[in-house]
Amino acid sequence: MIALLSSAVGRVLFGAIAVLGALRYGTGVWAWRETNRLEKPIYTVVRRLADGVEIRKYEPYLIAETTVPKEGFRESTGDGFRKCASYIFGNSKPRGAGWWKKEDDDGVGEKMAMTAPVRVSGQSTQVGEKMAMTSPVRASGGSGKTKVSFVIGSKYDLKSVPKPVDRAVSLREVPSHYLAARRFAGPPPKDSRVRKERERIEKALGEAGVQAKAASDGSDTMVYGYHDPFITPNFLRRNEVAIMVDSSSV
């Protein structure tokens, strides 16, 4: 009797786990599909190099950007994501709004459409130095800071895009540029993974005779995350590590 009861309980638990797993997977696939429909910066692949590295030419686009005084990709991205997401979801005021919209007001501005990817930028030299001490860091300008940004939809320009209420969020146009990028699946990458991906890109660039260069803000490595880290299964998540390259060497 006890054996039969134990067997029945086991089957019920197994069934419940299977149902929960199916729901989790189904929700993840739905999130992946919805994210794939989001607007993204426009680019053209101009060369394909070894090891899956692409040389891309990006058209200009706007970003909402914030600087986080923390070290490490995962440690920094959360704070930066919240600030930029708050702006995208309405913590803003329209162009021409008056003094009544104070910084501590609740966001009642225009809610903008989500886009992809979330951009994180910094300097690989800082990553490498900190790796030796087994404590990862993703710094910008060598000052222990990370820049996190959201892409703003193409319906806006700098004259029409809503103003951020939070002064920690700034708006700017990213000019047309060339990137060497490598795509991979998985969770948001740790700094050790970012460094390895950058090394693979550098090797492919060296073999092809393409020169890397720093971005206008001083950063030399960018990490792009296209999917959420919570719902979308890791094997479906799109991550990219990218390096700015000199267009004359392409």
CB contact at 8 A, 47 and 113: no
The first and second tokens of residue 185, run together, are 């699946």
Which residues have CB under 8 Å from 84's CB, separation 6+? 64, 65, 66, 118, 148, 149, 150, 169
Tell me the longest C-alpha to C-alpha distance in the chain.
79
Instruction: Delineate the domains of the chain, giving CATH numbers in brackets.
Output: 38-249 (3.20.80.10)
Instruction: Give the pLDDT of the chain (250 residues) as one tens digit per residue.
Output: 555 555 665 565 565 565 655 665 678 788 778 888 889 999 999 999 999 999 999 999 999 999 988 766 666 778 888 899 999 999 998 876 554 545 445 546 888 988 989 998 876 544 433 333 322 222 333 346 788 999 999 999 999 999 999 999 999 999 999 999 999 999 999 888 999 999 999 999 999 999 998 776 667 789 999 998 888 999 999 999 999 999 999 9
Q: Which one-letter amino acid corresponds to residue 72?
A: G
Count of other CB atoms within 10 angstroms of residue 187: 12
